[in-house]
């Protein structure tokens, strides 16, 4: 079956995240750029301060912008040049923290002063000491790491944080081209165990004309379906509905096919048609693989959602509405349909909380917080992975390794409740009357967190 995209490209272009700090106010942008320019001039004036240089710094910033990390770790602060580029991107997208490590106290003091001058100090924690030791103290999850210290320390730094790297994390190592011998053990490890590539640049620095960075993507090792990773337990065993309440009178429409939960959106149950787990959960990390099987229904009322959660309107004040192929489901959290992590084909992407975003009684910051920061869905027919972290009334949603909801508040959410897989849609005269939940689910794993 030829896969069809679950979004309209024109919308993705219109709502893509800001580049090069464009999410900042002009005053913030000017302040940060002034400090970056001053630090760069200092680094390029004899005696030189070895740093990444502007060409590689732009690429580093681009990688941070693409990943939208919540936690970045940098091994080797120097005077803060690369840290300024990283923190500017974090500030531009409205979230994230940088922990940067420098071994020399005097140099660290200069870096801290540069962060303060740029107005970025609140986003940065600067630690002084040996990065190979200090990285082991960072609990994570670490979404992005930049290694730019002594080449022989690259592998120890990486190993020290490896277990705390999140799925989809990006690790960038500088000076790979100019220091191949010092980093050979590091390169062997990342290229053997992960998806890793070398990127070359014409840098035109006093100490090098060409250099490269190693960009590594952390993907969890492949395992058999429905076998939980360390620290998690499976809520679905791949064989039957043990631990789940199949709706009474369902008629076999929720079923298991080849180790996946399959639904045809036609449950014959008289009441709630969704599939609920039997246990209640409080704080947890939930991982779920899901895919939309097909999109036979064309939804005529898909809105153009703005970053603040409201709908775009034309010059007459009328909401834009578009017709797009659509299927619809979601993951219910703590027993309520309002606490739903949406799965659908809207251009805004899956991962939002429709029940909160469209609730006009909620504060603007709540409605904006539950609106996805980016569209991260795969094409229809392909598998996706949610990682949903719930702590008290806060939730983070990662879709396919990209943070789509960084830290949303769900006011009034119950302290505990079951997890559910949503039914959606129905038929009239043999035709779909709404976007159906033609979905499959597998690898449903949970890690309960201490309160």
Whether residues 108 and 201 fall in one domain: yes
Collect all residues with Cβ–Cβ distance below 8 Å to 52 and sequence separation of at least 6.
Answer: 60, 81, 82, 85, 148, 174
In a domain, 332, yes or no: yes
* Domain end residue (candidates: 161, 184, 217): 217
Q: According to the per-residue pLDDT averaged within each range, which of 92-101, 221-230, 335-344 is highest?
A: 335-344
In this structure, are residues 273 and 250 in contact, taking their beta carbons and an 8 Å threshold?
A: yes
Q: What is the pLDDT of residue 208?
A: 75
Q: What's the mean pLDDT in 370-382?
A: 94
CB atoms within 10 A of CB 387: 20
What does the alpha-carbon distance between residue 202 and residue 204 come to, in Å, rounded to a whole number? 6
In a domain, 228, yes or no: no
* Domain end residue (candidates: 217, 248, 264): 217
For 305, half-sphere exposure in the C-beta direction (CA atoms, 13 angstrom radius) is: 27
What does the alpha-carbon distance between residue 424 and residue 345 come to, in Å, rounded to a whole number? 13
Q: What is the pLDDT of residue 14?
A: 31
In a domain, 169, yes or no: yes
Q: Give the DSSP H or E segment for 288.
A: strand 284-292
What does the alpha-carbon distance between residue 180 and residue 186 come to, in Å, rounded to a whole number? 10
Whether residues 413 and 267 fall in one domain: yes
Whether residues 208 and 265 fall in one domain: no
Whether residues 203 and 287 fall in one domain: no
Cα 320 vs. chain centroid, distance in angstroms? Answer: 28
Whether residues 326 and 394 fall in one domain: yes
Containing structural domain, residue 298:
233-448
In a domain, 181, yes or no: yes
In a domain, 2, yes or no: no
Whether residues 119 and 25 fall in one domain: yes
In this structure, are residues 120 and 87 in contact, taking their beta carbons and an 8 Å threshold?
A: yes
DSSP SS3 for 58: helix
Instruction: Provide the greatest CA pair distance for the chain.
Output: 80
What does the alpha-carbon distance between residue 75 and residue 448 come to, in Å, rounded to a whole number? 31
In a domain, 222, yes or no: no
**99, two tokens:** 């922990």
What does the alpha-carbon distance between residue 61 and residue 41 come to, in Å, rounded to a whole number? 19
* Residue 22: pLDDT over 80: no
Q: What's the mean pLDDT in 387-410?
A: 95
Q: What is the pLDDT of residue 87?
A: 96
Whether residues 157 and 209 fall in one domain: yes
* Mean pLDDT for all residues in the chain: 91
Q: What is the pLDDT of residue 222?
A: 60
* Residue 276: pLDDT over 80: yes
Whether residues 150 and 40 fall in one domain: yes
Q: What's the mean pLDDT in 241-248?
A: 97
Confidence of residue 352 (pLDDT cuts 50, 70, 90): very high
**309-333 burial, b if ≥16 CB within 10 A, otherwise e?**
bbeeeeeeeeeeeeebbbbbbbbbb
Q: What is the pLDDT of residue 220?
A: 65
Whether residues 195 and 318 fall in one domain: no
* Residue 13: pLDDT over 90: no
User: What are the two backbone dihedrals, phi and then psi, of residue 157, each rounded to the nearest 5 degrees?
Assistant: -65, -45
Whether residues 264 and 160 fall in one domain: no
In this structure, are residues 24 and 65 in contact, taking their beta carbons and an 8 Å threshold?
A: no
Q: What is the pLDDT of residue 17?
A: 35
Closest CA to 274 of 289, 298, 253, 305: 253
DSSP SS3 for 16: coil
Summarize pLDDT for 29-86 with one digit per residue, the tens.
Answer: 999 999 999 998 887 788 777 788 899 999 999 999 999 999 999 999 999 999 999 9
Whether residues 269 and 410 fall in one domain: yes
In a domain, 91, yes or no: yes
Lowest model confidence (mean pLDDT) among 113-127, 201-215, 316-330, 420-434: 201-215
What does the alpha-carbon distance between residue 445 and residue 226 come to, in Å, rounded to a whole number? 8
The pTM for the full model equals 0.58
In a domain, 271, yes or no: yes
CATH number at residue 70: 3.40.50.150
CATH number at residue 243: 2.60.120.560
Task: Look at strands 97-102 and 254-257 and give their pairing.
Answer: unpaired
Whether residues 188 and 134 fall in one domain: yes
Residue 96 Cα distances to 88, 120, 178, angstroms: 10, 12, 31
Count of domains for the chain: 2
Q: Where are the alpha helices (DSSP H) in 162-257?
A: 184-193
What does the alpha-carbon distance between residue 161 and residue 100 come to, in Å, rounded to a whole number? 13
């Amino acid at each position: 079956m030829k896969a069809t995209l679950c979004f309209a490209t024109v919308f993705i272009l219109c709502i893509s995240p800001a580049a090069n700090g464009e999410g900042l106010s002009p005053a913030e942008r000017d302040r940060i750029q002034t400090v970056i320019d001053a630090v760069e001039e200092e680094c390029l004036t004899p005696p030189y301060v070895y740093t990444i240089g502007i060409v590689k710094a732009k690429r580093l910033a681009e990688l941070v912008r693409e990943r939208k990390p919540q936690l970045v770790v940098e091994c080797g602060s120097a005077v803060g040049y690369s840290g300024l580029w990283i923190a500017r991107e974090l500030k531009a997208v409205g979230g994230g923290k940088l922990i940067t490590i420098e071994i020399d106290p005097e140099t660290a003091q200069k870096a801290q002063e540069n962060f303060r001058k740029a107005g970025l100090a609140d986003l940065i924690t600067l630690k002084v000491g040996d990065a190979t030791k200090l990285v082991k103290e960072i609990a994570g999850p670490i979404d992005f790491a930049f290694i730019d210290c002594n080449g022989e320390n690259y592998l120890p730094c990486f190993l020290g944080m490896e277990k705390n790297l999140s799925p989809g994390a990006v690790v960038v190592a500088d000076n790979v081209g100019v220091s191949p011998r010092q980093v050979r053990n590091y390169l062997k490890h990342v290229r053997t165990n992960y998806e890793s590539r070398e990127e070359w640049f014409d840098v035109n620095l006093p100490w090098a004309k060409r250099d490269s960075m190693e960009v590594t993507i952390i993907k969890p090792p492949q395992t058999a379906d429905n076998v939980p990773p360390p620290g998690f337990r499976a809520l679905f065993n791949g064989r039957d509905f043990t631990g789940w309440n199949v709706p009474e009178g369902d008629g076999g429409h929720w079923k298991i096919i080849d180790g996946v939960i399959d639904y045809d959106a036609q449950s014959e149950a008289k009441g709630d048609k969704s599939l609920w787990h039997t246990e209640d959960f409080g704080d947890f990390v939930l991982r779920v693989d899901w895919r939309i099987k097909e999109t036979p229904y064309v939804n005529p009322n898909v809105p153009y959602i703005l970053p603040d959660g409201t709908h775009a309107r034309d010059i007459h004040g009328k909401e834009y509405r578009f017709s797009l192929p659509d299927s619809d489901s979601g993951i219910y959290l703590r027993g309520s349909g309002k606490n739903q992590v949406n799965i659908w084909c809207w251009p805004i992407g899956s991962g939002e909380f429709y029940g909160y975003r469209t609730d006009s009684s909620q504060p603007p910051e709540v409605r904006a917080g539950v609106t996805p920061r980016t569209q991260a869905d795969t094409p229809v027919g392909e598998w996706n992975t949610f990682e949903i972290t719930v702590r008290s009334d806060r939730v983070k949603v990662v879709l396919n390794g990209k943070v789509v909801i960084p830290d949303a508040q769900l006011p009034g959410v119950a302290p505990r409740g079951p997890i559910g897989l949503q039914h959606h849609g129905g038929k009239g005269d043999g035709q779909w009357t709404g976007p159906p939940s033609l979905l499959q689910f597998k690898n449903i794993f949970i890690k309960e967190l201490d309160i």
